[in-house]
Structure 1
Amino acid sequence: MSRRVIYIVLDGLSHSVAHQHMGYLLALTEAQQASYYCLECELPAISRPLYECLLTGATPIESGIVNNAITRLSNQVSLFDLAKEAGKTTAAAAYHWISELYNRSPYQACRDRFTVAPDLPIQYGLFYHQDHYPDDHLFLDAEYLRRQYDPDLLLIHPMNIDDAGHKYSLDSPQYRNQARQTDRILSDWLPAWIAAGYQIIVTADHGMNNDFNHCGILPEERQVPLFVIGDAFSHDSSAKPLQRQLCGIVADLLQLEHAKARCQALLKESS
Protein backbone atom coordinates (compact mmCIF):
# COMPACT_ATOMS: atom_id res chain seq x y z
CA MET A 1 0.00 0.00 0.00
CA SER A 2 1.43 3.36 -1.05
CA ARG A 3 1.39 6.06 1.58
CA ARG A 4 2.20 9.75 1.78
CA VAL A 5 5.43 10.58 3.59
CA ILE A 6 6.64 13.65 5.48
CA TYR A 7 10.42 13.49 5.82
CA ILE A 8 11.76 15.96 8.40
CA VAL A 9 15.50 16.67 8.71
CA LEU A 10 16.34 18.81 11.76
CA ASP A 11 19.71 20.16 10.76
CA GLY A 12 22.50 19.78 13.31
CA LEU A 13 20.53 17.95 16.01
CA SER A 14 22.66 15.70 18.19
CA HIS A 15 21.17 12.46 19.55
CA SER A 16 22.04 13.40 23.14
CA VAL A 17 20.03 16.63 22.99
CA ALA A 18 17.09 15.06 21.16
CA HIS A 19 16.99 12.18 23.65
CA GLN A 20 16.98 14.49 26.66
CA HIS A 21 15.18 17.68 25.66
CA MET A 22 12.58 17.15 22.91
CA GLY A 23 9.64 16.54 25.22
CA TYR A 24 6.85 16.34 22.65
CA LEU A 25 8.57 13.79 20.43
CA LEU A 26 9.58 11.82 23.51
CA ALA A 27 5.97 11.95 24.75
CA LEU A 28 4.88 10.34 21.47
CA THR A 29 7.36 7.53 22.08
CA GLU A 30 6.10 7.03 25.65
CA ALA A 31 2.55 6.91 24.30
CA GLN A 32 3.70 4.29 21.74
CA GLN A 33 2.76 6.57 18.86
CA ALA A 34 6.38 6.86 17.75
CA SER A 35 9.59 4.87 18.00
CA TYR A 36 13.05 6.30 18.66
CA TYR A 37 16.38 5.06 17.33
CA CYS A 38 19.92 6.41 17.50
CA LEU A 39 21.75 6.51 14.16
CA GLU A 40 25.40 7.07 13.35
CA CYS A 41 25.74 9.51 10.47
CA GLU A 42 28.07 8.93 7.56
CA LEU A 43 31.37 10.77 7.25
CA PRO A 44 32.27 13.53 6.88
CA ALA A 45 29.64 14.70 9.35
CA ILE A 46 28.71 17.84 7.44
CA SER A 47 25.56 19.02 5.78
CA ARG A 48 25.62 18.91 1.99
CA PRO A 49 27.22 15.43 1.82
CA LEU A 50 24.63 14.12 4.27
CA TYR A 51 21.65 15.72 2.52
CA GLU A 52 22.79 13.67 -0.47
CA CYS A 53 23.00 10.55 1.69
CA LEU A 54 19.57 11.07 3.23
CA LEU A 55 17.95 11.67 -0.15
CA THR A 56 19.83 9.22 -2.39
CA GLY A 57 21.22 6.56 -0.04
CA ALA A 58 24.77 7.20 -1.31
CA THR A 59 27.56 7.82 1.17
CA PRO A 60 29.65 10.96 0.60
CA ILE A 61 32.53 8.89 -0.80
CA GLU A 62 30.12 7.22 -3.24
CA SER A 63 28.37 10.41 -4.32
CA GLY A 64 31.43 12.63 -4.59
CA ILE A 65 29.68 15.31 -2.52
CA VAL A 66 32.38 15.29 0.17
CA ASN A 67 32.26 18.90 1.39
CA ASN A 68 29.88 21.82 1.57
CA ALA A 69 31.63 23.81 -1.17
CA ILE A 70 30.80 21.33 -3.94
CA THR A 71 28.01 23.10 -5.79
CA ARG A 72 26.53 20.93 -8.52
CA LEU A 73 23.56 18.77 -9.26
CA SER A 74 23.58 15.31 -7.75
CA ASN A 75 24.68 12.50 -10.05
CA GLN A 76 22.67 9.97 -8.00
CA VAL A 77 19.03 8.87 -8.31
CA SER A 78 17.18 10.73 -5.58
CA LEU A 79 13.86 10.11 -3.86
CA PHE A 80 12.49 13.03 -5.85
CA ASP A 81 13.57 11.41 -9.13
CA LEU A 82 12.01 8.07 -8.18
CA ALA A 83 8.75 9.64 -7.02
CA LYS A 84 8.39 11.89 -10.08
CA GLU A 85 9.10 8.94 -12.41
CA ALA A 86 6.32 7.00 -10.68
CA GLY A 87 3.85 9.84 -11.25
CA LYS A 88 3.86 11.05 -7.67
CA THR A 89 3.97 14.64 -6.44
CA THR A 90 7.04 16.01 -4.65
CA ALA A 91 7.58 19.11 -2.52
CA ALA A 92 10.22 20.57 -0.22
CA ALA A 93 10.45 23.38 2.30
CA ALA A 94 14.20 23.38 2.69
CA TYR A 95 17.57 25.08 2.61
CA HIS A 96 18.66 26.17 -0.84
CA TRP A 97 21.37 23.48 -1.07
CA ILE A 98 18.54 20.97 -1.54
CA SER A 99 17.40 22.90 -4.62
CA GLU A 100 21.00 22.97 -5.88
CA LEU A 101 21.38 19.21 -5.49
CA TYR A 102 18.15 18.14 -7.20
CA ASN A 103 16.62 20.96 -9.26
CA ARG A 104 18.97 23.65 -10.58
CA SER A 105 22.53 24.66 -9.73
CA PRO A 106 23.67 27.20 -8.77
CA TYR A 107 20.67 28.43 -6.78
CA GLN A 108 19.27 31.76 -7.93
CA ALA A 109 16.93 33.16 -5.32
CA CYS A 110 14.77 35.15 -7.74
CA ARG A 111 14.24 32.04 -9.87
CA ASP A 112 14.30 29.22 -7.34
CA ARG A 113 13.08 30.46 -3.95
CA PHE A 114 9.47 29.84 -4.97
CA THR A 115 9.43 26.79 -7.23
CA VAL A 116 6.40 25.61 -9.19
CA ALA A 117 7.89 23.35 -11.83
CA PRO A 118 6.18 20.00 -12.49
CA ASP A 119 9.04 18.99 -14.82
CA LEU A 120 11.70 19.19 -12.09
CA PRO A 121 12.40 16.46 -9.49
CA ILE A 122 11.26 18.77 -6.66
CA GLN A 123 8.10 20.01 -8.30
CA TYR A 124 6.97 22.44 -5.62
CA GLY A 125 9.43 24.17 -3.34
CA LEU A 126 9.86 26.98 -0.87
CA PHE A 127 13.59 27.39 -0.36
CA TYR A 128 15.52 29.70 1.97
CA HIS A 129 19.15 30.82 1.95
CA GLN A 130 19.87 32.27 5.40
CA ASP A 131 20.67 29.95 8.31
CA HIS A 132 18.63 32.04 10.75
CA TYR A 133 15.44 31.77 8.65
CA PRO A 134 12.93 31.06 11.45
CA ASP A 135 11.89 27.46 11.93
CA ASP A 136 8.29 28.48 12.59
CA HIS A 137 8.22 30.22 9.18
CA LEU A 138 9.71 27.12 7.56
CA PHE A 139 7.01 24.85 8.97
CA LEU A 140 4.37 27.30 7.75
CA ASP A 141 5.99 27.07 4.31
CA ALA A 142 5.74 23.29 4.52
CA GLU A 143 2.10 23.36 5.55
CA TYR A 144 1.32 25.69 2.65
CA LEU A 145 2.91 23.20 0.25
CA ARG A 146 1.02 20.33 1.84
CA ARG A 147 -2.35 22.04 1.59
CA GLN A 148 -1.78 23.58 -1.84
CA TYR A 149 -0.24 20.61 -3.68
CA ASP A 150 -1.02 17.50 -1.56
CA PRO A 151 2.42 15.98 -2.20
CA ASP A 152 3.11 12.28 -1.80
CA LEU A 153 6.60 13.19 -0.57
CA LEU A 154 7.16 16.34 1.47
CA LEU A 155 10.66 17.19 2.74
CA ILE A 156 10.88 19.65 5.64
CA HIS A 157 14.35 20.93 6.53
CA PRO A 158 14.73 23.67 9.20
CA MET A 159 18.13 25.13 10.14
CA ASN A 160 17.84 26.94 13.48
CA ILE A 161 19.24 24.13 15.67
CA ASP A 162 22.40 23.94 13.56
CA ASP A 163 22.64 27.74 13.51
CA ALA A 164 22.48 27.87 17.33
CA GLY A 165 25.16 25.19 17.60
CA HIS A 166 27.55 27.08 15.35
CA LYS A 167 26.99 30.27 17.33
CA TYR A 168 26.98 28.88 20.88
CA SER A 169 28.24 25.21 20.77
CA LEU A 170 26.69 21.90 21.79
CA ASP A 171 26.85 22.45 25.54
CA SER A 172 24.97 25.73 25.58
CA PRO A 173 21.50 26.76 26.74
CA GLN A 174 20.94 28.40 23.36
CA TYR A 175 21.45 25.12 21.47
CA ARG A 176 19.32 23.10 23.87
CA ASN A 177 16.60 25.74 23.94
CA GLN A 178 16.45 25.88 20.16
CA ALA A 179 15.93 22.12 20.11
CA ARG A 180 13.12 22.59 22.63
CA GLN A 181 11.64 25.37 20.50
CA THR A 182 11.67 23.25 17.35
CA ASP A 183 10.09 20.41 19.31
CA ARG A 184 7.31 22.81 20.33
CA ILE A 185 6.80 23.80 16.70
CA LEU A 186 6.50 20.13 15.79
CA SER A 187 3.79 19.78 18.43
CA ASP A 188 1.75 22.39 16.53
CA TRP A 189 1.76 20.37 13.29
CA LEU A 190 2.33 16.68 13.92
CA PRO A 191 -1.05 15.86 15.53
CA ALA A 192 -2.94 16.86 12.37
CA TRP A 193 -0.44 15.09 10.11
CA ILE A 194 -0.66 11.94 12.20
CA ALA A 195 -4.47 12.09 12.13
CA ALA A 196 -4.33 12.46 8.34
CA GLY A 197 -2.43 9.19 8.06
CA TYR A 198 1.00 10.42 7.01
CA GLN A 199 4.06 8.27 7.64
CA ILE A 200 6.52 10.62 9.33
CA ILE A 201 10.28 10.42 9.75
CA VAL A 202 12.12 12.93 11.97
CA THR A 203 15.90 12.75 11.88
CA ALA A 204 19.04 14.89 11.51
CA ASP A 205 21.98 15.07 9.15
CA HIS A 206 24.70 15.34 11.83
CA GLY A 207 25.18 16.51 15.40
CA MET A 208 27.29 19.27 16.99
CA ASN A 209 30.40 19.60 19.17
CA ASN A 210 31.79 22.08 21.69
CA ASP A 211 34.05 23.64 19.07
CA PHE A 212 30.89 25.19 17.54
CA ASN A 213 31.22 22.74 14.66
CA HIS A 214 30.95 19.17 13.34
CA CYS A 215 32.79 16.97 10.85
CA GLY A 216 34.40 14.04 12.64
CA ILE A 217 33.77 10.95 14.72
CA LEU A 218 32.92 12.28 18.19
CA PRO A 219 29.64 10.74 19.37
CA GLU A 220 28.05 14.17 19.74
CA GLU A 221 28.88 14.87 16.08
CA ARG A 222 27.97 11.48 14.60
CA GLN A 223 25.04 10.24 16.67
CA VAL A 224 21.70 11.61 15.47
CA PRO A 225 18.07 10.87 16.34
CA LEU A 226 15.51 8.98 14.31
CA PHE A 227 11.82 9.16 15.26
CA VAL A 228 9.37 7.19 13.11
CA ILE A 229 5.62 7.72 13.30
CA GLY A 230 2.93 5.81 11.44
CA ASP A 231 1.23 2.47 11.00
CA ALA A 232 3.59 1.29 8.24
CA PHE A 233 6.52 1.06 10.67
CA SER A 234 7.20 -2.09 12.66
CA HIS A 235 8.21 -0.09 15.76
CA ASP A 236 10.58 -2.96 16.46
CA SER A 237 12.98 -1.82 19.20
CA SER A 238 15.61 -4.27 17.96
CA ALA A 239 15.77 -2.74 14.46
CA LYS A 240 19.11 -1.14 13.67
CA PRO A 241 18.58 1.25 10.75
CA LEU A 242 21.52 3.02 9.13
CA GLN A 243 21.45 6.59 7.89
CA ARG A 244 22.09 5.50 4.30
CA GLN A 245 19.02 3.23 4.50
CA LEU A 246 16.53 6.04 5.17
CA CYS A 247 16.21 6.84 1.47
CA GLY A 248 15.24 3.23 0.74
CA ILE A 249 12.80 3.19 3.65
CA VAL A 250 11.00 6.25 2.26
CA ALA A 251 11.01 4.69 -1.22
CA ASP A 252 9.44 1.52 0.21
CA LEU A 253 6.75 3.55 1.96
CA LEU A 254 5.93 5.24 -1.35
CA GLN A 255 6.03 1.87 -3.17
CA LEU A 256 8.69 3.07 -5.57
CA GLU A 257 10.78 0.66 -7.61
CA HIS A 258 14.37 1.09 -6.47
CA ALA A 259 17.67 -0.58 -5.68
CA LYS A 260 18.46 1.50 -2.58
CA ALA A 261 19.74 0.05 0.68
CA ARG A 262 16.86 -0.62 3.05
CA CYS A 263 16.17 -1.72 6.62
CA GLN A 264 13.26 -4.09 6.26
CA ALA A 265 13.09 -4.61 10.03
CA LEU A 266 11.89 -1.01 10.41
CA LEU A 267 8.79 -1.63 8.28
CA LYS A 268 5.85 -3.98 8.60
CA GLU A 269 5.97 -6.85 6.12
CA SER A 270 2.90 -5.54 4.26
CA SER A 271 4.64 -2.22 3.63
Structure 2
Amino acid sequence: MADTLILVLIDGLGLQSACEAMGYMNALCEARLARLHPVRSELPSLSRPLYECILTGVQPVHSGIVDNAVVRLSTQQSVFHLAANAGLRTAAAAYYFISELYNESPYNAVRHRFQDDAGKPIQHSCFYDNDSYPDDHLLLDAEYLRRRHDPHFLLIHPMNVDDAGHREGGHSPHYRNTVRRLDSLLSLYMPAWLEQGYQVMVTSDHGVNGDCTHGGTLPQERDVPLFVAGDRFNLDCMESPDQTMLCGLACDILGIEGHGKPTLPGFLR
Protein backbone atom coordinates (compact mmCIF):
# COMPACT_ATOMS: atom_id res chain seq x y z
CA MET A 1 0.00 0.00 0.00
CA ALA A 2 1.41 3.40 -1.00
CA ASP A 3 1.55 6.35 1.39
CA THR A 4 3.01 9.84 1.27
CA LEU A 5 6.27 10.39 3.13
CA ILE A 6 8.08 13.43 4.51
CA LEU A 7 11.73 12.77 5.41
CA VAL A 8 13.23 15.51 7.59
CA LEU A 9 17.01 15.14 7.51
CA ILE A 10 18.41 17.46 10.18
CA ASP A 11 22.06 17.92 9.37
CA GLY A 12 24.46 17.40 12.28
CA LEU A 13 21.88 16.42 14.92
CA GLY A 14 23.34 14.07 17.52
CA LEU A 15 21.21 11.61 19.47
CA GLN A 16 21.91 13.11 22.89
CA SER A 17 20.82 16.59 21.82
CA ALA A 18 17.72 15.16 20.15
CA CYS A 19 16.80 13.48 23.45
CA GLU A 20 17.55 16.50 25.64
CA ALA A 21 16.65 19.56 23.53
CA MET A 22 13.72 18.52 21.31
CA GLY A 23 10.80 18.99 23.68
CA TYR A 24 8.09 18.81 21.03
CA MET A 25 9.37 15.71 19.28
CA ASN A 26 9.81 13.93 22.60
CA ALA A 27 6.33 15.05 23.67
CA LEU A 28 4.95 13.20 20.65
CA CYS A 29 6.80 10.11 21.85
CA GLU A 30 5.47 10.45 25.40
CA ALA A 31 1.95 10.75 23.99
CA ARG A 32 2.55 7.63 21.85
CA LEU A 33 2.13 9.62 18.66
CA ALA A 34 5.75 8.97 17.63
CA ARG A 35 8.71 6.81 18.58
CA LEU A 36 12.41 7.60 18.87
CA HIS A 37 14.89 4.99 17.65
CA PRO A 38 18.66 5.37 18.07
CA VAL A 39 20.63 4.89 14.85
CA ARG A 40 24.39 4.46 14.34
CA SER A 41 25.65 6.30 11.26
CA GLU A 42 27.83 4.64 8.66
CA LEU A 43 31.43 5.76 8.11
CA PRO A 44 32.92 8.16 7.37
CA SER A 45 30.52 10.30 9.41
CA LEU A 46 30.44 13.06 6.79
CA SER A 47 27.50 14.74 5.12
CA ARG A 48 27.64 13.88 1.42
CA PRO A 49 28.55 10.21 2.00
CA LEU A 50 25.70 9.82 4.47
CA TYR A 51 23.12 11.60 2.33
CA GLU A 52 23.94 8.99 -0.29
CA CYS A 53 23.71 6.20 2.28
CA ILE A 54 20.35 7.32 3.66
CA LEU A 55 18.80 7.89 0.24
CA THR A 56 20.21 4.81 -1.54
CA GLY A 57 20.90 2.31 1.27
CA VAL A 58 24.51 1.89 0.06
CA GLN A 59 27.44 2.28 2.44
CA PRO A 60 29.92 5.01 1.46
CA VAL A 61 32.77 2.57 0.85
CA HIS A 62 30.58 0.86 -1.75
CA SER A 63 28.93 3.93 -3.29
CA GLY A 64 32.27 5.67 -3.79
CA ILE A 65 30.93 8.85 -2.16
CA VAL A 66 33.46 8.78 0.66
CA ASP A 67 34.11 12.49 1.15
CA ASN A 68 32.33 15.80 0.79
CA ALA A 69 34.81 16.65 -1.98
CA VAL A 70 33.51 13.85 -4.24
CA VAL A 71 31.37 15.98 -6.55
CA ARG A 72 29.44 13.88 -9.07
CA LEU A 73 26.07 12.38 -9.70
CA SER A 74 25.27 9.22 -7.77
CA THR A 75 25.63 5.93 -9.61
CA GLN A 76 23.02 4.33 -7.33
CA GLN A 77 19.22 4.19 -7.39
CA SER A 78 17.94 6.60 -4.76
CA VAL A 79 14.45 6.94 -3.30
CA PHE A 80 14.01 9.83 -5.74
CA HIS A 81 14.90 7.67 -8.75
CA LEU A 82 12.71 4.79 -7.66
CA ALA A 83 9.73 6.97 -6.81
CA ALA A 84 9.92 8.97 -10.03
CA ASN A 85 10.28 5.79 -12.09
CA ALA A 86 7.15 4.46 -10.40
CA GLY A 87 5.18 7.53 -11.45
CA LEU A 88 5.24 9.24 -8.05
CA ARG A 89 5.90 12.94 -7.47
CA THR A 90 9.13 13.92 -5.70
CA ALA A 91 10.34 17.16 -4.12
CA ALA A 92 13.16 18.48 -1.95
CA ALA A 93 14.00 21.61 0.01
CA ALA A 94 17.63 20.83 0.65
CA TYR A 95 21.32 21.72 0.63
CA TYR A 96 22.91 21.78 -2.80
CA PHE A 97 24.84 18.53 -2.22
CA ILE A 98 21.49 16.78 -2.76
CA SER A 99 21.12 18.41 -6.18
CA GLU A 100 24.67 17.36 -7.10
CA LEU A 101 23.96 13.76 -6.13
CA TYR A 102 20.64 13.30 -7.92
CA ASN A 103 19.84 16.13 -10.36
CA GLU A 104 22.73 18.29 -11.65
CA SER A 105 26.46 18.24 -10.93
CA PRO A 106 28.23 20.56 -10.38
CA TYR A 107 25.67 22.87 -8.82
CA ASN A 108 25.12 26.31 -10.29
CA ALA A 109 22.88 28.45 -8.08
CA VAL A 110 21.50 30.54 -10.92
CA ARG A 111 20.42 27.51 -12.94
CA HIS A 112 19.73 24.92 -10.27
CA ARG A 113 18.36 26.64 -7.13
CA PHE A 114 14.73 26.26 -8.25
CA GLN A 115 13.84 23.28 -10.42
CA ASP A 116 10.57 21.99 -11.86
CA ASP A 117 11.31 19.12 -14.21
CA ALA A 118 9.21 15.95 -14.29
CA GLY A 119 12.08 14.18 -16.08
CA LYS A 120 14.50 14.45 -13.15
CA PRO A 121 14.66 12.26 -10.05
CA ILE A 122 13.93 15.30 -7.86
CA GLN A 123 11.12 16.86 -9.86
CA HIS A 124 10.42 19.95 -7.76
CA SER A 125 13.07 21.59 -5.61
CA CYS A 126 14.34 24.61 -3.70
CA PHE A 127 18.08 24.22 -3.06
CA TYR A 128 20.43 26.48 -1.08
CA ASP A 129 24.21 26.70 -0.79
CA ASN A 130 24.83 28.74 2.38
CA ASP A 131 25.21 26.75 5.61
CA SER A 132 23.61 29.59 7.56
CA TYR A 133 20.47 29.67 5.35
CA PRO A 134 17.79 30.06 8.05
CA ASP A 135 15.91 26.94 9.03
CA ASP A 136 12.63 28.86 9.17
CA HIS A 137 13.11 29.89 5.53
CA LEU A 138 13.91 26.29 4.60
CA LEU A 139 10.73 25.02 6.26
CA LEU A 140 8.76 27.66 4.34
CA ASP A 141 10.40 26.47 1.10
CA ALA A 142 9.38 22.92 1.93
CA GLU A 143 5.82 23.85 2.80
CA TYR A 144 5.52 25.76 -0.47
CA LEU A 145 6.63 22.65 -2.37
CA ARG A 146 4.26 20.44 -0.40
CA ARG A 147 1.23 22.62 -0.96
CA ARG A 148 1.94 23.45 -4.61
CA HIS A 149 3.06 20.05 -5.90
CA ASP A 150 1.58 17.53 -3.42
CA PRO A 151 4.61 15.21 -3.61
CA HIS A 152 4.46 11.60 -2.58
CA PHE A 153 8.04 11.93 -1.27
CA LEU A 154 9.35 15.19 0.18
CA LEU A 155 12.86 15.65 1.59
CA ILE A 156 13.34 18.56 4.02
CA HIS A 157 16.98 19.20 4.86
CA PRO A 158 17.83 22.04 7.32
CA MET A 159 21.49 22.92 7.97
CA ASN A 160 21.61 25.32 10.94
CA VAL A 161 22.26 22.63 13.59
CA ASP A 162 25.35 21.42 11.73
CA ASP A 163 26.47 25.01 11.17
CA ALA A 164 26.17 25.74 14.90
CA GLY A 165 28.19 22.63 15.70
CA HIS A 166 30.99 23.65 13.37
CA ARG A 167 31.05 27.13 14.86
CA GLU A 168 31.01 26.31 18.58
CA GLY A 169 30.97 22.52 19.03
CA GLY A 170 28.39 19.85 19.61
CA HIS A 171 28.24 20.49 23.39
CA SER A 172 27.86 24.26 23.18
CA PRO A 173 24.82 26.30 24.23
CA HIS A 174 24.65 27.68 20.67
CA TYR A 175 24.36 24.17 19.26
CA ARG A 176 21.73 23.02 21.76
CA ASN A 177 19.68 26.20 21.35
CA THR A 178 19.74 25.78 17.58
CA VAL A 179 18.29 22.28 18.10
CA ARG A 180 15.61 23.79 20.33
CA ARG A 181 14.68 26.37 17.71
CA LEU A 182 14.34 23.72 15.03
CA ASP A 183 12.19 21.58 17.33
CA SER A 184 9.94 24.61 17.81
CA LEU A 185 9.69 25.06 14.03
CA LEU A 186 8.71 21.42 13.58
CA SER A 187 5.93 21.91 16.12
CA LEU A 188 4.37 24.44 13.72
CA TYR A 189 4.22 21.97 10.80
CA MET A 190 4.05 18.43 12.14
CA PRO A 191 0.45 18.53 13.40
CA ALA A 192 -0.88 19.44 9.95
CA TRP A 193 1.32 16.84 8.23
CA LEU A 194 0.09 14.08 10.53
CA GLU A 195 -3.53 15.23 10.36
CA GLN A 196 -3.36 15.09 6.56
CA GLY A 197 -2.07 11.50 6.65
CA TYR A 198 1.63 11.91 5.94
CA GLN A 199 4.13 9.43 7.30
CA VAL A 200 7.02 11.39 8.83
CA MET A 201 10.60 10.35 9.52
CA VAL A 202 12.93 12.80 11.30
CA THR A 203 16.57 11.75 11.36
CA SER A 204 20.12 12.99 10.86
CA ASP A 205 23.22 12.14 8.90
CA HIS A 206 25.71 12.50 11.79
CA GLY A 207 26.37 14.40 15.00
CA VAL A 208 29.10 16.89 15.90
CA ASN A 209 31.93 16.39 18.41
CA GLY A 210 33.49 18.82 20.88
CA ASP A 211 36.18 19.73 18.36
CA CYS A 212 33.54 21.42 16.16
CA THR A 213 33.71 18.73 13.50
CA HIS A 214 32.81 15.15 12.58
CA GLY A 215 33.95 12.36 10.30
CA GLY A 216 35.28 9.84 12.78
CA THR A 217 34.00 7.12 15.08
CA LEU A 218 33.11 8.93 18.32
CA PRO A 219 29.57 8.31 19.60
CA GLN A 220 28.95 12.07 19.40
CA GLU A 221 29.66 11.83 15.67
CA ARG A 222 27.85 8.57 14.87
CA ASP A 223 24.83 8.31 17.19
CA VAL A 224 21.78 10.00 15.64
CA PRO A 225 18.01 9.93 16.18
CA LEU A 226 15.22 8.51 14.09
CA PHE A 227 11.79 9.81 15.07
CA VAL A 228 8.90 8.12 13.26
CA ALA A 229 5.30 9.30 13.26
CA GLY A 230 2.24 8.26 11.27
CA ASP A 231 -0.23 5.41 11.23
CA ARG A 232 2.00 3.10 9.18
CA PHE A 233 4.64 2.85 11.91
CA ASN A 234 4.40 0.21 14.61
CA LEU A 235 5.22 2.28 17.69
CA ASP A 236 5.59 -0.90 19.74
CA CYS A 237 8.59 -2.05 17.69
CA MET A 238 11.64 -2.06 19.95
CA GLU A 239 14.30 -2.67 17.32
CA SER A 240 16.10 0.11 15.50
CA PRO A 241 17.01 0.09 11.80
CA ASP A 242 20.52 0.49 10.49
CA GLN A 243 21.15 3.70 8.55
CA THR A 244 21.37 1.60 5.38
CA MET A 245 17.78 0.46 5.95
CA LEU A 246 16.22 3.92 5.79
CA CYS A 247 16.01 3.89 1.99
CA GLY A 248 14.24 0.55 2.01
CA LEU A 249 11.91 1.75 4.74
CA ALA A 250 11.02 4.80 2.64
CA CYS A 251 10.40 2.57 -0.37
CA ASP A 252 8.13 0.30 1.66
CA ILE A 253 6.08 3.29 2.82
CA LEU A 254 5.83 4.61 -0.75
CA GLY A 255 4.81 1.19 -2.03
CA ILE A 256 7.60 1.01 -4.61
CA GLU A 257 9.92 -1.83 -5.55
CA GLY A 258 13.53 -1.92 -6.62
CA HIS A 259 15.43 -1.72 -3.36
CA GLY A 260 17.02 -4.87 -2.02
CA LYS A 261 17.79 -3.86 1.56
CA PRO A 262 15.43 -5.57 4.01
CA THR A 263 13.71 -3.54 6.70
CA LEU A 264 12.98 -4.81 10.19
CA PRO A 265 10.02 -7.19 10.51
CA GLY A 266 7.20 -5.49 12.32
CA PHE A 267 8.60 -1.96 11.93
CA LEU A 268 5.65 -0.99 9.75
CA ARG A 269 1.99 -1.89 10.17
Range into which the TM-score falls when normalised by the shorter chain: over 0.9
Is 1:115 the equivalent of 2:141?
Answer: no
| Aligned-partner Cα distance in 2 for 1:181–1:240 | 26
User: 1:100-179 residue pairs with structure 2 within 5 A?
Assistant: 100-179=100-179
Q: CA RMSD in A?
A: 0.9
Unaligned runs of 5+ in 1: none
Residue 267 of structure 1: CA displacement? Answer: 3.0
Unaligned runs of 5+ in 2: none
SS in 1 for 2:11: coil
Residue 37 of structure 1: CA displacement? Answer: 0.6
Amino acid at match of 2:200: I
Contact 2:251 2:259 in 1 (8 A): no
Residue 27 of structure 1: CA displacement? Answer: 0.2
- Deviation digits for residues 134-161 of structure 1, max 9, x if unmatched? 0000000000000000000000000000
Is 1:189 the equivalent of 2:194?
Answer: no
Contact 1:245 1:260 in 2 (8 A): no
Amino acid at match of 1:202: V
SS in 1 for 2:216: coil
Residue 83 of structure 1: CA displacement? Answer: 0.3
- Deviation digits for residues 37-81 of structure 1, max 9, x if unmatched? 110000000000000001000000010000000000000001001
Match of 2:73 in 1: 73
- Deviation digits for residues 73-103 of structure 1, max 9, x if unmatched? 0000010010011000000000000000000
User: 1:79-90 residue pairs with structure 2 within 5 A?
Assistant: 79-90=79-90
Match of 1:202 in 2: 202
Match of 2:99 in 1: 99
Amino acid at match of 1:24: Y
SS in 1 for 2:92: strand
Amino acid at match of 2:236: D
Amino acid at match of 2:174: Q
Residue 259 of structure 1: CA displacement? Answer: 2.8
SS in 2 for 1:7: strand
Residue 237 of structure 1: CA displacement? Answer: 3.9
TM-score (norm 1): 0.98
| Aligned-partner Cα distance in 2 for 1:266–1:73 | 34
Amino acid at match of 2:36: Y
| Aligned-partner Cα distance in 1 for 2:89–2:122 | 8
The range that moved more, 260-269 or 222-231, is 260-269
Match of 1:25 in 2: 25
TM-score (norm 2): 0.98
Is 1:261 the equivalent of 2:261?
Answer: yes
**Cα gap change, 1:209 to 1:249, in 2 (>3 Å):** same
Residue 239 of structure 1: CA displacement? Answer: 1.5
| Aligned-partner Cα distance in 2 for 1:221–1:155 | 22
Amino acid at match of 2:38: C
Residue 266 of structure 1: CA displacement? Answer: 5.2
Residue 19 of structure 1: CA displacement? Answer: 0.7
Is 1:43 the equivalent of 2:29?
Answer: no
Q: What percentage of aligned pairs have identical amino acids?
A: 53
The number of residues matched between the two structures is 269
Contact 1:146 1:154 in 2 (8 A): yes
